[in-house]
Amino acid sequence: MNQRLLIVLLFIVSCFALLYCTGPDKVVVEAPLYKNWHDTVDYVGMNACRTCHQQIYETFIQTGMGESWDVASPAKSSANFSDHASVYDAYNDFYYRPFWRDSQLYIMEYRLAGKDTVFKRTELISFIVGSGQHTNSHIWQSNGYLYQAPLTYYTQKGIWELPPGFEDGLNTRWNRIISLECMNCHNMYPEFDPASENKFISVKKGIECERCHGPGETHINEKMMGILKDTSSIIDYSIVNPRHLSRDMQVELCQRCHLQGISVLNEGKTFFDFKPGQPLNSVMNVFMPRYTGGDEKFIMASHADRMKQSECYVQSKMTCVTCHNPHVSVKFTPPVQFNDACKSCHASDENTCRLPLSKRMLEDDNCYKCHMPVSETMDIPHVTIHDHRIQVPVTDEKKKDIQQFVGLECMTTTNPSALLMAQGYLQAFEAFSPQHYLLDSAALFLQLSEDKSSRTYVDAKIRFAYLQEDFATIIALSKSMEVAQINDAWNAYRIGEGNYQTGNFLRAYQFYDRAVALKSADPEFRNKKGTALVALKRVKEAQQVFQSIVQDQPKYAPALSNLGYIYFLNGEFDYAGSLYAKAIALDPDYEQALMNQLALMMVLRNIEEAKKLAARVLKINPKNEKAKLVRKELGI
């Protein structure tokens, strides 16, 4: 065999291995590899694409994707700011009111006692999320840390209300972080501080071209060098054009954001790592809840999942782009385009609609109005969307079926391992719904796992024990672990908590310190490190930790309260009281800050104020034994 032929054969074999050795249940990667998949290829921004694709740019920026995120301004807002804009949270006794001042949007939170305002907090809104077709949600920031504000405008009903997940006593007020996962499907890739959970150096103004086409640096460089391709006959592999992907990879791309279930990242991966044309499970796995009954109810961003359940999808080669042009807003897409997509398969006499024309005209003779009915969503109140599970209309009797949860389904891996299923249930419990039946399922799958010696399994067991507040099990599982071996900040934090709650403050400090080393900009990890230092009587070190948090994130109430406690220990009572007051001004129901203030009042012998604070604490938590003891000492 001559050397040239040998080289060719080796090249073919290496390509074959690259394409098909993808692991169990992996979707086969497209071939050949796109040049812009490489990690060294940079994103260039939508304005660079605009240079050659002006017409597409002009229509795309009017789509839901193009309008998904922007700075808060009167032009961006779809909301009505009339007198009815105030919202009352009866569970937590807070009112919310949005208002403009000098073209800047603010949301005020306040509490009334009779007609008197007894608490007020106002935050400047930096960004508005949502195109306005369904909602406008609002983002505030403190030194780059992004949080969701506790007020959303629901455009379809024209009402202000609490955001999804804030209802029924679950209002987290100003504390819901905007993580990279949240940002990932509402925006183009931002400049993010990886040492944090929610600190951003800069963010874009909506989803951009490269979310679906991949980073554009190679593509632009080739065009600048005169390397042009006749894309009518060949594929330009310097950039991903989704229409050249296989059917599966087209849907994988869309369902990156239109399959909003429970996401579990693969070890070592981030939400930045997914590239168009690659299988989603090369970066993460996504789980969706499954139910019996109530089949017409579904999660808002489950378009891909619902479409895959329909016979139209199963029996044809349709994809999302069969009906949708991603460069053109549905607001400007004529009904005939959607109907023509239906008629491409249902054009023959036996497949056309059998309803009389008079009945069809009640819905403007549009197929999707009957077969993709407008429905409410399970997770977003006051919102309706077209159900993408194309089907014969559900009868009214069927709609009365009671929906019951039966389990999670992994949407990205055909035969998921028991350990992967356990991770899905743990994530569902911690991030979405703290229902103990989810932990029961996680326990079952952990028991069924065949890889009990792996670090991934041990980490999952520690997470499970943490969620059950089973600190003894955390200690047992981590007893032989070297602190430096922990490479996941959250698991270091969980082990720290296990040790702190069982009184081993030194080992708790070591693991908290490891968590901070891995996520140095996370205020919660740093705050826990500081509390461990206080327990170890290393007060000066704790003071430095709390001061650094307050300097970095001045509206983090726990650090303000803890820093006040340090000054209290040092006898600097006035400054301690001012820090407690700042924490309480951020959260009037922050029990620990109120208790710290109560202790200060007792030391200062300010009896009347101590009585008020004790009563206030017991109203928040009637079981607070320390507050009860103070009232007893004060003779109340």
53-79 in b/e form (b: 16+ CB < 10 A) is: eeebbeebbebbbbbbbbebeeebbbb
Where is 18: in which H helix or E strand?
helix 3-20
CB proximity list for 580: less than 8 A, separation 6 or greater: 560, 561, 564, 593, 596, 597, 600
pLDDT confidence of residue 398: 63
Tokens of 605: 């012998």
- Spatial neighbors of 449 by CB under 8 A, at least 6 apart, are 417, 418, 419, 422, 457
Give me the residue label for tokens 């209802």.
Answer: 167
Confidence of residue 351 (pLDDT cuts 50, 70, 90): low
Q: Are 106 and 123 a contacting pair, CB within 8 Å?
A: yes
Closest CA to 160 of 178, 142, 138: 138
pLDDT at 23 over 90: no
pLDDT tier for residue 12 given thresholds of 50, 70 and 90: very low
Residue in 580, 524, 533 with CA at minimum distance from that of residue 552: 524
- List, in sequence order, every residue forming a beta bridge with 290; answer none if it has no partner: 407
Q: Please, what sign has the CA dihedral across residues 56, 57, 61, 62?
A: negative
**What's the CA gap between 292 and 295, in Å, rounded?**
7
Q: Provide φ and ψ at 76, rounded to 5°.
A: -75, -35
Q: What residue has token string 């930096």?
A: 126
Confidence of residue 399 (pLDDT cuts 50, 70, 90): low
The interaxial angle of helices 471-478 and 455-467, nearest 10 deg, is 160
Q: How many CB atoms lie within 10 A of CB 472?
A: 11
C-alpha 598/C-alpha 611 separation (Å) is 8
Q: pLDDT tens-digit profile of 360-371?
A: 888 888 898 889
Cα separation, 428 vs 408, whole angstroms: 9
pLDDT at 572: 98
Retrieve residue 407's tokens.
Answer: 């389990």
pLDDT tens track for 405-429? 999 999 999 999 999 999 999 999 9
Q: If you search the block for the tokens 């304005």, which residue do you land on?
A: 47
What is the rounded average pLDDT for all residues in the chain? 91
Distance in angstroms (rounded) separating the CA atoms of residues 262 and 424: 7
DSSP E strands in 178-222: the ranges are: 191-192, 200-202
pLDDT of residue 435: 93
Q: Would you state the pLDDT for residue 400?
A: 65
- For 28-69, the pLDDT digits (tens) are 444 458 999 999 999 999 999 999 999 999 999 999 999 999
Instruction: Check whether 155 has a pLDDT greater than 70.
Output: yes
Q: What is the largest CA-CA distance in the chain?
A: 101
SS3 48: helix
